[in-house]
Amino acid sequence: MTATATVAGLADEVLDWRFKAIPASAWGVSVRELLASRPRLSDFGTPLLTLDAGALAANLETMAGYCASAGVGLAPHGKTTMAPALWERQIAAGAWGITLANVPQLRVGRAFGQRRLQLANALVDPIGLRWIADELDADPDFSFVSWVDSVRTVELMSGLLHAHGARRPVDVLVEIGQPGARTGARDIEEAVGIARAVAESPRLRLAGIAGYEGVVAHAASPRDLEAVSAYLRKLVALHERLTEAGLYDPSAEIVVTAGGSAFFDQVVEVLGPLASSNVNVLLRSGAYLVHDDGFYRGISPFGRSVGDSPLISAMHGWARVLSRPEPDLALLDGGKRDFPFDEGLPTPQYANGDPGPVAGASVTAVADQHTFLRLDPGSTVKVGEVVRLGLSHPCTAMDKWSLIPVFDDSSSTDPIVVDLIRTFF
């Protein structure tokens, strides 16, 4: 079954208590039937996380257009959403494939028919590696690539694949990292040695190099941006060394990949010139589709330097006022279990569709199930009213929700639900 057909089948899923976004009145009907009834925000309880259809479409078009004009490919990091329906939209918009972070995520990708997957990690788990080998052997149209950052990793993978009797070699990219940061070889000489080990293995195929510049900086000051560029120049130097040494497998599509959602403009500037008929420069930006009203709004290249069409936050939180125990304090019914907080607290935007009552308000803390909203003592926000929240960091938002309503227009007073996005975290 194709990925599109498998995703379409999600519309037949019957709704019940497992989906915390879904009201009890909808239990027993399918996703398709609920959408046909055109439910509105007022039909759903709180807390609630939602997406906006217009923002998703605009962000998809913006990033696809940017990559096309820059001459680079896009393998969006699917871990951000873990939503096969959204992956399919990204593929339809021209994405090379989907990037994922671990074996359970890869299994979701394969269950929904994804034909080209990148694991942005090493694969040394015997159970996972044997499963991938079986997937490759069973499906000649399935393409898979993972990363390696040590000779030991190469030896483990080669030995496990040999013992399992794998028929197809596994494509790997040599990862170069940063001292004191995450995974990846710490210098170019070490990375070249790893590449030689891959080239000598009959069970692996050297298909390129990889890195992640997001480990170098978490802000966009001139000093941070130069540190990112310096790191990316190491990838260029490694690629040149491997090319000169003839270590890439001549039968492989060569991949040079970097690029999260914060510094992809620099990846294009530094790595983009490497793109050619046999070298595919791939960005892995994942947060662009959903974007946010916090961290990525401040650091995304579309907000800093690229083009005239900034990304739009497609996600919002909705929480109800439970209590106003003090003149300047309201407690909302959503908290850490519902909304992201690791890259900035939620920001109040509207109360019952009107920004006036929360003007000047701020969220000062979140507990497991409560948000602390500090108000002007004269605020008219009342117990029972619903507050719309801007959120920061989609990577820790969607994992809290297995089914997410998509509104036609999140800025309207009582928006209509036009889709329900299923996630698989």
Domain limits of the chain?
3-52+311-422, 55-290
Would you state the pLDDT for residue 374?
Answer: 98
Q: Given this chain, do its domains 3-52+311-422 and 55-290 carry the same CATH topology?
A: no
Cα–Cα distance between 170 and 145 in angstroms, integer? Answer: 7
Residue 416: CB atoms within 10 Å: 17
The CATH code of the domain at 3-52+311-422 is: 2.40.37.20
Q: How many CA atoms lie within 13 A of 100 on its CB side?
A: 24
Is residue 285 over pLDDT 80? Answer: yes
Work out the pLDDT band at 303, boundaries 50, 70, 90.
Answer: confident
Mean pLDDT of 167-188: 96
Is residue 3 over pLDDT 90? Answer: no
How confident is the model over 103-146, as pLDDT tens digits? 999 999 999 999 999 999 999 999 999 999 999 999 999 999 99
Work out the pLDDT band at 305, boundaries 50, 70, 90.
Answer: low
CATH level 2 (architecture), domain 55-290: Alpha-Beta Barrel (3.20)
The number of helices, as runs of H, and strands, as runs of E, in the chain is 12, 17
Would you state the pLDDT for residue 225?
Answer: 95
> Contact, 251 vs 21, CB < 8 A?
no
Would you state the pLDDT for residue 5?
Answer: 84
Mean pLDDT of 187-203: 98
Cα–Cα distance between 340 and 244 in angstroms, integer? Answer: 46
Cα–Cα distance between 76 and 314 in angstroms, integer? Answer: 17
Is residue 309 over pLDDT 70? Answer: no
Would you state the pLDDT for residue 2?
Answer: 80
User: Mean pLDDT in the chain?
Assistant: 96
